[in-house]
Amino acid sequence: MYKFNSSFRFSFLPQPDSEVVTLTLPQKDSDSNIEQLEQSSNTVAQLLNSCEIDVNKNLTKTSSEQQLEYLLSNLMKYGVLIASAIVLLGGILYLIHHGAEPAGYHFFRGEPSEFRSPVGVVKAALSGSDRAIIQLGLLLLIATPIVRVFISLLAFLLQREFIYVIVTLLVMTSLIYSLVGAYY
């Protein structure tokens, strides 16, 4: 069994019986590691070419990297919001028109042929079909990360970061294969 100790006090104020100890460390001989100093100066020069250093001596990203991150984050944010709004609109319209109908689970009905391709979904959505509006929102939701990967690929090509280009191409091919592979 546990016993509660009621004499415990928690205080944000410093206790008067505590003392502060400071230690001074001896400085190293500055001539002993000249090779390490030269290597570190080369590393700093390389970092200065690729990054910026702020007042607190923290590495920050260049303005082009910040712009790319801002673009990609806004693409994902607004892409998901727009796709969700379209799905919500289509769902509301579908419930207004078909909400009172009883569900018929006795027979399986596949997707109509107009919903089997992206072009068919867009045509049906423009004609005002409730289900097509929902499917259009889902297509936009799927297309958002694909567009993000494509923009990243273009940015890495412009920056000549070929390792990232290869990785991004692998991601892009797997995404395209997963979409197109269903048709064949």
Task: Give per-residue pLDDT as tens, 51-96.
Answer: 555 555 556 667 777 888 888 889 999 999 999 999 999 999 988 8
Cα 28 to Cα 25, 33, 36: the distances in Å are: 9, 9, 13
Are the C-beta atoms of 125 and 133 separated by less than 8 Å? yes
Q: What is the pLDDT of residues 115-171, one digit of tens each?
A: 777 888 888 888 888 888 999 999 999 889 899 999 999 988 988 888 999 999 999
Output the pLDDT for position 141.
Answer: 92
Q: What is the pLDDT of residues 6-15, one digit of tens each?
A: 554 544 444 5
Output the pLDDT for position 68.
Answer: 83
Residues listed for the chain = 184
